[in-house]
Amino acid sequence: MFLTDSTRSLIRLALAEDIGRGDCTTQAIIDANLQARATVYIKQPARVAGLPVIDAVFSELGSTVQVTHFIEDGQDVTGERNAVCQLEGPARSILMGERTALNFLGRLTGIATMTQKAVSQLTLTSTKLLDTRKTTPGWRLLEKYAVKMGGGLNHRFGLDDMVLIKDNHVALCGGVVAAVEKARASVGLSTKVEVEVDTIDQLKEALTTNADLILLDNMDTSTLCQAVQLTNNRVLLEASGNMTIDRLAEVAQTGVHYISMGALTHSATSVDVGLDITFE
């Protein structure tokens, strides 16, 4: 489950940022004993992600607010006013946690929705969509969870997951072959090794190594086709660099196994969400 200690720390940080020394408006005008019911809405068609975070927000508040889900993460809503959950409990707690809960839900649903749209471009191919490490600092687990809810796959979570030799590593090591050999000697066969190449010549070098994956960086479609033909399924290929939703189908048709897309997390737009409250 994505609600780890680090995620809960992020939620506590967000609540502290918003509430500060106290919700002076709510504390001034809302009776401490007042109970209320509220409904959370997503106001546009979307792929939902982040509902468990709403539970966690009110749990971290230490409140007795009960959350009832009407839908599960990974499901789609299609209307302009989609009720996704209901809150019941102290009105003060609902009001204090409202913005933090909605911020998480809107952001994560936005990522899932963009991912679902991107994945739909690959349905007639065997190519899989990957995310990247271009995530909001502190939000990585949540944002990568949202990618999964949208139908995408997670690439490495951090620098400790696998070896990914980038262009700067290659430059400092003196070449593709030297970099892969040094990496493999260090980590052994139990850790995956991927190497980035920018040209067909570099790809030819990479194919002489025992890399598990080769990342084809910023190649145009014709060059990607050459790379796939040259590789002939000897190693898995990942296409990356300036990928847009409009380009995904064309790239997938080249036959690459994976496409990684940083925009899933760094450029997704939050969906419109809201909360309506009533007295019990």
Tokens of 162: 């696998």
The percent of residues in the chain predicted with pLDDT above 90, rounded, is 95
User: Residue 3 has what pLDDT?
Assistant: 79
DSSP-H helix ranges across the chain = 5-19, 24-29, 51-60, 91-119, 140-149, 167-173, 176-187, 200-206, 221-231, 245-252, 263-266
Residue 155 domain boundaries = 119-266
- Kindly state whether residues 58 and 191 are assigned to the same domain: no
For this structure, is 43 an active site residue?
Answer: no
User: Residue 152 has what pLDDT?
Assistant: 98
User: Residue 1 has what pLDDT?
Assistant: 52
- Kindly state whether residues 242 and 150 are assigned to the same domain: yes
Question: Choosing from 37, 117, 134, 148, which is the catalytic residue?
Answer: 134
- Kindly state whether residues 30 and 86 are assigned to the same domain: yes
**Mean pLDDT computed over 183-192:** 91
Q: Say which amino acid occupies 250.
A: E
- Of all helices (H) and strands (E), which one includes residue 201? helix 200-206
Counting the structural domains of the chain, the total is: 2
Q: What is the pLDDT of residues 194-245, one digit of tens each?
A: 999 999 999 999 999 999 999 999 999 999 999 999 999 999 999 999 899 9
Q: What is the pLDDT of residues 2-20, one digit of tens each?
A: 678 899 999 999 999 999 9
- Kindly state whether residues 153 and 42 are assigned to the same domain: no
> In whole angstroms, how large is the CA radius of gyration of the chain?
23
Question: Choosing from 8, 12, 43, 99, which is the catalytic residue?
Answer: 99
Q: What is the CB neighbour count within 10 angstroms for residue 156?
A: 17
Q: What is the CATH number of the domain that holds 104?
A: 3.90.1170.20
User: Residue 279 has what pLDDT?
Assistant: 65
Please check whether residue 224 is in contact with residue 257, taking contact to mean a CB–CB distance below 8 angstroms. Answer: no
**Mean pLDDT computed over 256-270:** 97
For this structure, is 238 an active site residue?
Answer: no
Q: What is the pLDDT of residues 69-97, one digit of tens each?
A: 999 999 999 999 999 999 999 999 999 99
- Of all helices (H) and strands (E), which one includes residue 16? helix 5-19
Using CA atoms of 25, 50, 252, 239 in order, give the dihedral in degrees to the nearest 10.
70
Using CA atoms of 197, 199, 203, 204 in order, give the dihedral in degrees to the nearest 10.
-150
For this structure, is 196 an active site residue?
Answer: yes
Question: Choosing from 60, 131, 143, 196, which is the catalytic residue?
Answer: 196
- Kindly state whether residues 252 and 165 are assigned to the same domain: yes
Question: Choosing from 76, 81, 161, 166, which is the catalytic residue?
Answer: 166
- Kindly state whether residues 253 and 187 are assigned to the same domain: yes
Q: What is the CB neighbour count within 10 angstroms for residue 238?
A: 21
Question: Choosing from 98, 143, 217, 238, which is the catalytic residue?
Answer: 217
